[in-house]
Structure 1
Amino acid sequence: MAKRLIFIFLCLFLLSGCGQPSFTGKLEKVGLLVPETISDQVWGTKGYKGLLTIQSKFNVDVFYKEGMDNRLSVEKAVDDFHQKGVNLVFGHGSEYESFFKDISKKYPDIHFVFFNGDAKGENVTSLNFEAHSMGFFGGMVAGEMTKTRKVGVIASFEWQPEVDGFREGAHYQNDQVDVEVKYVKHWDDIDAALKILDQMIVEGVDVVYPAGDGYNVPVIERLKEEGLYAIGFISDQSDLGEGTVLTSTIQDVDKLYELVAQQYNKGSLKSGELSFDFSDNVIELGEFSPHVDEEFKQKIMKDIDTFRKTKKLPNEL
């Protein structure tokens, strides 16, 4: 009788275990969705580099799909990833917020990650760069280097926090500066961005922050032709012309991807909204132009170091 009871309890224990998910959170395979292409040399390319970093660091298979800009294509891609055994999916942009909100319910064994939005679901995480501070320090450089006391921001959307940050930083460094902000209302409308730039040049703007990853390269090339200055955006764009690009506000997406994958592999990746800034070593200023005074460079790097320690910008101290 005792042996029979032990056998029954053992069976019940094993059966109850079968009802629990076997998923442990360990990284298996990783998928990446990009709305445009991995070949844009800016945002999409950074996502792809992040994916390759994960492949190298964790020795896992990785997959990517381009042109994922609508619900149907995203649903098909995620289903394909699921069949391949992917358990961590990066949606490389804010547009994936609405897609992942519903899709995540269908795939509880996949963790979904996207950028700059509200994460809904136990297996969904939003990564948010603290871009206000990034813009602030870029604005300081613009305020220091302008000769006409007119600087411009060609941004994509009004919600971009780096825009207000840039304005504040420029005014902090130079209270005589005029900051003109115009919006393209798209990430990669090159014609619209260049039209705005032409008008800014006519108005005497001599430093421009093209805060849109799809058009910032053509904008910088035009500024180079005109002998004017730029603040690079997303990646270090000093290679476009050290005499033109004063510095760049860099978001190290590849480092962030590796950090997220590491947390996920350890089972410590949280759902909801996560924020990252200079103190996480995923935001930085790029190489400075030789035109930027050495004393000012030392000052702004000291300000950034203080921000890393205190979370306070120079105008907040």
Structure 2
Amino acid sequence: MKLKSLLLGLGLVAGISAAQAEDPFKVGFVYVGPVGDHGWSYEHNRGREELEKHFEGKVTTSYVENVAEGADAERVITQLAKSGNDLIFTTSFGYMNPTLKVAKRFPKTTFEHATGYKRSKNLGTYALRTYEGRYVSGIAAGMMTKTNKVGYIGSFPIPEVFRDINSAYMAAKTVNPNVEFKIVWVNSWYDPGKETDAANALMDQGVDVLLQHTDSPAPLIAAEKRGMRAVGQASDMSHFAPEAHIFSVRDDWAPYYIKTTEAVINGTYEPADFWGGFKDDMLSIASINENLPADVKAKIKVTYDDIRSGKISPFTGPITNNEGKVVVEAGHTLTDTELAQVNWYVEGITDAIPH
């Protein structure tokens, strides 16, 4: 009581309360790879940095990198919630169930999970239409290959990766009916050694254009060394392979991070399922190589514009899978819910679905 009277006399209590009321809003991030992967986690982290810059001191952020999917993820997400983060973004598919479990235990914290499909009262989901970028990649690969063999380095057999392989293949077939895809799975998001081995194994089989759903520039570097071509993943990877690089499909998460944080702060947040793509400027084609033939450069730009405007929608039927079953009826375009459940290869891909 004496301390309170003294503080009142000095006019400090109101000041202390005001300072407490103005504590920065805290946002935590969980990354599956290192922020220096030059791919997926690198771009999520760049979005985090843009978020802090946008709010000019009113928002503070923290992150944990290299978090394995599973028990480690649950532990890290729990710690971020216990540490007083108001909003937590978990940025890999394998964080889905851990995020859901922690969200139930911390109902006053808002959670957002990237690429998943499970939501609750305080848990939303968000994703990029990466298949749009893969469609443009497939167009370029189909036009650039001289052997008619395109290699695809897959990370994990999940809907996002199946969607993107299918999208790239369907696009390639529109410009090159003779093209075939060879797929190697590395069962990792970021492992430069495995990615290099996969790239070389594919090139040893006659592949002369590489696509990837992994996060390091290793496949591009391997292609550069052997005089082949490749497309960069998630960020602008052109400087790693000046000759081999066709273009990169770049992710930009900043607009979503800023918008979502603003909504939580303002009390207008509602958990939903958000997908961003070309038309949202959250996905872009970066650094088209000047060494490409003029017709390839023109086709890349036209295809981008057509997807952005809605003229092309990659998953519009009829689409048959490689077991002969119609998976998208004529005239139907897969909804986001249906896109999140793709677990098949399109007709023409000869590989079996890995289990």
- Distance, in Å, in 1 between the alignment partners of 2:148 and 2:69 is 43
How many Å apart are 1:203 and its aligned residue? 2.0
Query: In 1, are the aligned partners of 2:132 and 2:314 still within 8 Å (CA)?
Result: no
Matches of residues 20-169 of structure 1 in structure 2 within 5 Å?
28-58=25-55, 59=57, 60-69=59-68, 73-159=72-158, 160=161, 161-169=163-171
What corresponds to 1:8 in structure 2?
A: none
How many Å apart are 1:198 and its aligned residue? 2.3
What corresponds to 2:244 in structure 1?
A: 244
Query: What is the Cα-based RMSD across aligned positions, in Å?
Result: 2.4
The DSSP-based 3-state class of the residue aligned with 1:30 is strand
Moved more, 228-237 or 298-307: 298-307
What corresponds to 1:195 in structure 2?
A: 197
How many Å apart are 1:306 and its aligned residue? 2.4
Query: In 1, are the aligned partners of 2:33 and 2:190 still within 8 Å (CA)?
Result: no
Alignment partner of 1:174 is 2:172: no
- CA deviation profile, 1:197-230 (whole Å, cap 9, x unmatched): 22322221111012201xx412211111101101
Aligned AA (1:158): P
The DSSP-based 3-state class of the residue aligned with 1:198 is helix
What corresponds to 1:306 in structure 2?
A: 306
Hey, which of these two has a bigger chunk of helix by percent?
1
How many Å apart are 1:167 and its aligned residue? 0.8
Aligned AA (1:35): V
Query: In 2, are the aligned partners of 1:156 and 1:186 still within 8 Å (CA)?
Result: yes
- Distance, in Å, in 2 between the alignment partners of 1:315 and 1:48 is 30
- Distance, in Å, in 2 between the alignment partners of 1:28 and 1:74 is 23
The DSSP-based 3-state class of the residue aligned with 1:249 is strand
Query: In 2, are the aligned partners of 1:119 and 1:273 still within 8 Å (CA)?
Result: no
- Detail structure 1 runs of 4+ shifted over 6 Å in the superposition: none
- CA deviation profile, 1:6-38 (whole Å, cap 9, x unmatched): xxxxxxxxxxxxxxxxxxxxx821111123322
How many Å apart are 1:142 and its aligned residue? 0.8
What corresponds to 2:335 in structure 1?
A: none
- Distance, in Å, in 2 between the alignment partners of 1:31 and 1:139 is 35
Query: In 1, are the aligned partners of 2:143 and 2:175 still within 8 Å (CA)?
Result: yes
Call closer, same or farther: CA 1:86–1:211 in 2, change over 3 Å: same
Normalised TM-score (structure 1): 0.83
Query: In 1, are the aligned partners of 2:119 and 2:125 still within 8 Å (CA)?
Result: no
What corresponds to 1:288 in structure 2?
A: 288
Aligned AA (1:144): M
- CA deviation profile, 1:97-136 (whole Å, cap 9, x unmatched): 1111111112122111111112231111111211222211
- Distance, in Å, in 1 between the alignment partners of 2:189 and 2:81 is 30
Identity of aligned pairs, percent?
Answer: 22
Normalised TM-score (structure 2): 0.74
Moved more, 254-263 or 40-49: 254-263
Query: In 2, are the aligned partners of 1:208 and 1:230 still within 8 Å (CA)?
Result: yes
Moved more, 67-76 or 85-94: 67-76
- Distance, in Å, in 2 between the alignment partners of 1:314 and 1:82 is 39
Query: In 1, are the aligned partners of 2:78 and 2:102 still within 8 Å (CA)?
Result: no
| Alignment size in residue pairs | 289
Call closer, same or farther: CA 1:265–1:78 in 2, change over 3 Å: same
- CA deviation profile, 1:229-276 (whole Å, cap 9, x unmatched): 011111111111231110112221334323332343444443142211
How many Å apart are 1:46 and its aligned residue? 1.7
Call closer, same or farther: CA 1:86–1:217 in 2, change over 3 Å: same
- Which runs of no fewer than 5 residues in structure 2 stay unpaired? 1-23, 317-330, 332-355
- CA deviation profile, 1:136-174 (whole Å, cap 9, x unmatched): 111101111112221111111233121111111111121
What corresponds to 2:257 in structure 1?
A: 257
Call closer, same or farther: CA 1:189–1:76 in 2, change over 3 Å: closer
Moved more, 57-66 or 278-287: 57-66
Aligned AA (1:120): R
How many Å apart are 1:72 and its aligned residue? 5.6
- CA deviation profile, 1:77-110 (whole Å, cap 9, x unmatched): 4454445432110112112211111111121221
